[in-house]
Every structure is written in C-alpha cells, then in structure tokens.
Structure 1
Amino acid sequence: MRQRPRGDSRGILDPGRMLREVRFRRHLPAEPLRRWVEHYWLIDWELSTPFEQRVVPHPAVNVVFRRDGDGPESGEVAGVGRDLFRITLTGTGRVGGVQFRPGGFHAFWRQPISELTGLRVPLPTGRLAPPDFPVCAAADDERCRAMDALLTAWDPAPDPMGDEAIRLTEAIRTDRTVLRVDDFAARHDLPVRRLQRLFLEYVGVGPKWVIRRYRLQEAVEQAAGGPLEWAALAADLGYSDQAHLVRDFTAVAGVSPAAYARSVH
C-alpha cells in the first residue's frame, strides 16, 4: 500500500507555471480508503489576474468541492474526461478533490462507471450528501478529515472484480511496455472482450483508451522535462511513426508537441 502520494506531474500541462500561480498539494486518505482512492488534492489561489490551467485527464473519477471567495461550497462528481480539461481561476478560492484509483469509484457508486464518462454532475443528495463540515475548510488536515468522513459514510463495498480492474489499470500505468490490448489481455490470461467489459463497467473507458492515455501522459511529462527525439519516443510508446504521435498529442493537449515544449521552456 502506498505510504505517500504520487509526486509526478503527469497530466498537468506546464506544471511549473501552475505551481507558481497556485498552492497545490496532495495527501493520502485514511488507510482503509487507500485501496480505492489515489489521493486527495488541494488547491488554493489568490490571483490578481485570471489563470487558465489545462489538464490531460487520467482514466479516473474525481469528486470535487469548490469555494470561490466567500461564496457557498459546491460539490460534483467528475467522470473520466476524454477531452482536455480547462479551467480559469480568478480572485480567491479553494478546491478540495478526491482522485479515485481507476476502477475504485465503483465501490461507492455501484453502477457502471461508463455512465459518468465525459460528465460532471452535481454531488447527489441523500446517501452521497456532503459531510457536516466543509471540505474547503482552512487547514489541510481538516479538509482531509472531511473527505475521509464523506467517503467512509458512503460505505464502500469491496468487490473482487473492482480489485481486478484497479490492479490491471495500475499495471498499464506503471509498465510502459504495455502497448496493445490483445498482448495485455494475453499476458493476464484474459479474453479481450471480458477485459473490455470489465473496464467499461469499473473504469468507465476501454483498455485501448487507457493504454493510449497513459502513454500520451508520459509524452507530455517528458516534453516538459527537456528536449526530446520525438521519433524515438514515438517508437518507444508504441506509435507507428512520429506523425501518429504528433496527431494524438495535438488532439489531446491542444497544441503540437514542439509548440508545447517551446511554451514550457
């Protein structure tokens, strides 16, 4: 079980600028929740000019609480986003979010996660009501306790198939040699159609999309780190040629790899 939150910037476009503009940090949830939850993420800002942040979404559901200035706190469930996520922050505000492990939100939602894909819906009332104290409270520990209380109150139900989906998506994320669905299915002794059904039910998108998204996030992260040999990277990430990588990168990030690298550096 992970003992500290991930330290990478994968999926965040121009992470250096983001860290100059806002306070961003991650915290682990209470230990019983870690089988389903990747981390909590907190952002505070106090801006004199508007700031736009862009994110290449992970194949993960987020539950997000936001408060702008002295306004009320709102909450929503954000399904897996297929497109580039953009948000413009102004003035002052706070956000507290739960990033679930891919496949992890099913234990709380208990319905096909594909029904949420591409959607952002208000946090349902009743069983999924917010806790008694705000998630966007002053101190980080208070905010984390609020999210612990909320998730514990949802009474997540362990599910062997959910555990399998979490394990398989983690294998795709961490093993960059995973490039094709049929090879991955064979490696884990699974029929391709069963793998596809499992991912749609528990992750919200198919395994091919997950593989391509994780490999593209690697390309984005590497582009932010310094000059690259794009043809070699394309081959390394399983693309037929450099042009294919450029097309996918541009479609997901909104700019070409070369233009993104120039803007970051």
Structure 2
Amino acid sequence: MTTSPGAGRTAARDDIERAHLVDPTDRTWSIARASVAPDLLDVARRFWIPVWDVPEGRDSVQRVLQYPVCLIVVSDSYARFYGVVSGLSHTQLTGRGWAVGVMLQPAAGHLVTREPVRAMTDRFVDLTAVPTLDGAGIARALRSVMGAAPTDPDAQAMARELVEDALRSLLPVDEEGLLVNAIVEDVESSPELLRVDELCSRFDISERTLQRLLHKRIGLGPKWLIRRRRLQEAADRLRDSDAELAGIAMDLGYADQAHFTRDFRLATGMTPGEFASRFR
C-alpha cells in the first residue's frame, strides 16, 4: 500500500508503517502481512509474520508506537498475550527466528481475558495464562507448521488458519465491544479530531462513560488514544522527502513546532528531524 504526502491522511492509506518506526537500512528481517477472515473482522485486524536472520554479534531492535489493541504472538521460543503498550514498544531480534502475530481489535482484549484490559497495560502474560484460549495447543500447532520453513507461504497460510479457528471461540462480539471498535476506528481515521469532547459528541456519550469504556476495553484513556494517533500520523508524514516540521505540527494541532518536537522525542526517543533523516 502506498502513501502520499500532505495533511488529511487516514489510517486507510498506510496504517502499518505509521506505527512501525522502521530503520530503512536494516535488512536482517522481513514481514509478511495478511488480513483476517471476513467473519473475524470484529475480533482481529490483521496478521504479521516476521522472519529474521541477524548476523552473530549484531541485533535488530524493532520500535513500534503500538495501536490501542492487544496482541497474540507465538514464536519458536515463546507464546504471549500482550496488553497495549502506552509508550514505545521494543523488540530485539537476534540470530534466526520467526513469529506469528495477530493484532486484535479493541474489543477483543476483554473477550480474551474476561477482565478489564487496564490490568494488562504495558504487560504481557504467557498465552497459557489466558482463560479463553488453548495457549499450549495453539503454540504447539503453530510450531509444527512453521518450524521447518517459516518463509513458506503455504506454512504461513496454515498458521493463520489455526489462529483464526481459535479466535472464532470469541464470537460474537458484544455491543459494548462493537462500540469501542467504532470509537477507535473513528479516532484513527479522523486526523481533524483533536479533542476528547469532540469524540464524545460524535458518539453522544459523556466523557466519564468514554473513560470507563476505554479503560475497560483497551486499558488507556481517550487523551492517550488521540495523542497516539497524532504521533503515528507524524511518523508517517516524516517519511516524505518534502516534510516540513512546522507544517506537520500545525496540521496535527500542536501549539507550535517546539511542542511537537518535545512530544515526538518523549514518545520515540528521537526528534522529528532525526527520524526524518533516516529516510533521506
């Protein structure tokens, strides 16, 4: 999927790259991405299957401004359920390996844990600890099909089907879950949305109700949700060769370029200029 410069971009154009703060010079890994089966769209967003081969003595650190969703990730050495990461997510790749990951929908974290998802913020647990899925069985099955040839498209397709079969036990999604899916989708696809009261007005709910709903289903509040979308949008636009920091700051609702620079550096560990220079 391609992107184009300028304001007004939405998640539909390239919502993957805007979150993954990829180093374009790092060639030690690749990622295959795929959508989920149509009947699971209320439960999950997409799969990603990274495969890496990092030379001895080196490592590859993946940095992601994660979306407001929980994750299931199975590799050859672990199987985990991740809550939402409020800051910058770091994954260090070493040696050779693979993983099968599925990005859930905002509604799904609570369906998996049967508890308010705020308890999982900035945490992960072994997949065997979640009460609604056969974590050990999922991990065993995925390792069986992926272990010999993790780059094989047929093996990856089988792995996705195994995960999808497990996720169907979470259906149907409840009305509250469908509402939180719609709220998050609206935030992610509306660059002009900058204030919590605007979001409340769109869905005709009070700020207190919105706070409770988001803390229960994604673990974080509406201000974080809007700020995270702005930072992802900024990371996306900074990849353009003609990106202007002052213009990006204004378009994203920052008081000035200094506020934008401080917010981006706190979230990513890089200034906007340092991040942009990786793509020049």
Counterpart selection for 2:187 from 138, 153, 172: 172
Contact 1:107 1:159 in 2 (8 A): no
Moved more, 228-237 or 121-130: 121-130
Q: Residue 16 of structure 1 corresponds to which residue in structure 2? A: 24
Equivalent residue pairs, number? 255
Whether 1:26 aligns to 2:33 is yes
Aligned ranges 1:1-265 → 2 under 5 Å = 8-14=16-22, 16-17=24-25, 20-48=27-55, 49-67=58-76, 73-125=77-129, 127-130=132-135, 131=138, 133-134=141-142, 137=146, 138=149, 139-152=155-168, 154-265=169-280
Summarize deviations over 1:149-180 as a string: whole Å, max 9, x none.
2222x434421011000001000000101100
Contact 2:241 2:279 in 1 (8 A): no
The alignment-based identity, stated in percent, is: 30
Q: CA RMSD in A?
A: 2.1
Contact 1:60 1:102 in 2 (8 A): yes
CA distance in 2, matches of 1:149, 1:242: 48
Summarize deviations over 1:108-135 as a string: whole Å, max 9, x none.
3221111111111111346422325125
Distance 1:15 1:175, change over 3 A: farther
CA distance in 1, matches of 2:84, 2:97: 24
Contact 2:24 2:278 in 1 (8 A): no
Secondary structure of residue in 1 paired with 2:92: strand
Moved more, 169-178 or 183-192: 183-192
Amino acid at match of 1:35: D
TM-score scaled by structure 1? 0.89
Secondary structure of residue in 1 paired with 2:193: coil
Give 1:203 deviation, angstroms. Answer: 1.8
Distance 1:197 1:7, change over 3 A: closer
TM-score scaled by structure 2? 0.84
- In structure 2, stretches of 5+ residues that fail to align are 1-11, 150-154
- In structure 1, stretches of 5+ residues that fail to align are 68-72
Contact 1:5 1:39 in 2 (8 A): no
